[in-house]
Amino acid sequence: MIRDVDITQIWDGRFYTASDLVKADTMDCRGCSDCCRTMTDTILLDPWDIRQMQQVTGMDFDALLEKHVSLTVADGLITPVMSMTPGGACTFLDGTGRCTIHGSRPGFCRLFPLGRYYDDSGEFRYFLQARECPKPKAKIRVSKWLGVEDLPRYEEYVRRWHAFLKQVQHLLEGESEKLRKQVCLYLVQLFYRRSWDGESSFYEQFEERLARARKDLSLR
Ligand code: SF4
Ligand code: SF4
């Protein structure tokens, strides 16, 4: 979700790249799971997240929707978001407060307490959300904190997905509710409901779907 806030009110005063050290290491959270109990309905999921979840649970998107994922509207587009239990916790949190999909957790969970700041060109840098997580933290390299395989490729995907969503939002400005809904459902079908092949490169599959969506929506 794009937050329209004054970054100087929430950061530690500097931007970071993947190779920088940042004081974000919560040291395995040491028994704390507050974030997994309070923030899940704000954890928006992108296609990479859904593919990770499909692989680790063996569930297709409709099965995930029944148990772990909901749909919400964010920045005018229908978007998957983590579901909560009646008590407000993430459905992947176990009874001891541990994440049962830690190795396949969504990008939002990997980032926190970092965030991404996008400039007008669509480029992003990381920043530390200085007011989040009151626990003591150690320095760690951003790339290690994220723990994503082939991080440069993942970062490129993040940029391209962000840019595409901005284009679609712009395209739908001022359009009828009916058309907005049609486009949203088309995107849900193409990027989420249609399963991702676990044997093939996610990024190649993503680029194919992106090219198709751009063509179908007449985007450059
Ligand atoms: S508040 Fe900090 S230590 Fe607790 S779960 Fe969140 S990130 Fe981990
Ligand atoms: S996926 Fe894991 S890390 Fe993320 S909110 Fe759920 S339990 Fe917490």
Is the predicted pLDDT of residue 3 greater than 80, yes or no?
Answer: no
* Secondary structure element (H or E) that encloses residue 206, with its range: helix 202-216
Say which residue, 135 or 157, is predicted with more confidence: 157
Instruction: Give the whole-angstrom CA distance, residue 143 versus residue 150.
Output: 10
At residue 93, what is the residue type? L
Closest residue to atom 1 of ligand 2, CA basis: 105
The sign of the torsion formed by the CA atoms of 130, 135, 140, 144 equals: negative
Show me where the domains of the chain are located.
Answer: 27-112+149-216
- Could you read off the pLDDT of 49-85 as tens digits, one per residue? 999 999 999 999 999 999 999 999 998 999 999 999 9
Residues lining ligand 2, judged by CB closer than 6 Å?
A: 36, 40, 43, 82, 90, 92-93, 99, 101, 105-106, 109
* Secondary structure element (H or E) that encloses residue 47, with its range: helix 47-57
162-to-47, 119, 189 alpha-carbon distances in Å: 11, 12, 18
Q: Counting Cβ atoms within 10 Å, is residue 27 exposed (0-12), middle (13-18) or buried (19+)?
A: exposed
Q: Which of 44, 82, 110 to mutate to test the pocket of ligand 2 (most atoms within 8 A of CB)?
A: 82
The pLDDT score that the predictor gives to residue 2 is 58
Is the predicted pLDDT of residue 218 greater than 90, yes or no?
Answer: yes
**Mean pLDDT for the chain?**
93
- Could you read off the pLDDT of 108-156 as tens digits, one per residue? 999 999 999 999 899 999 999 988 888 889 999 999 999 999 999 999 9
Residue 113, preceding peptide bond in cis (omega within 30° of 0): yes
- Could you read off the pLDDT of 27-45 as tens digits, one per residue? 989 889 999 998 867 899 9
State the greatest distance between any 2 C-alpha atoms of the chain, in Å, as a whole number: 50
**Span from the CA of 14 to the centroid of ligand 1 (angstroms):** 21
The DSSP symbol for 120 reads T
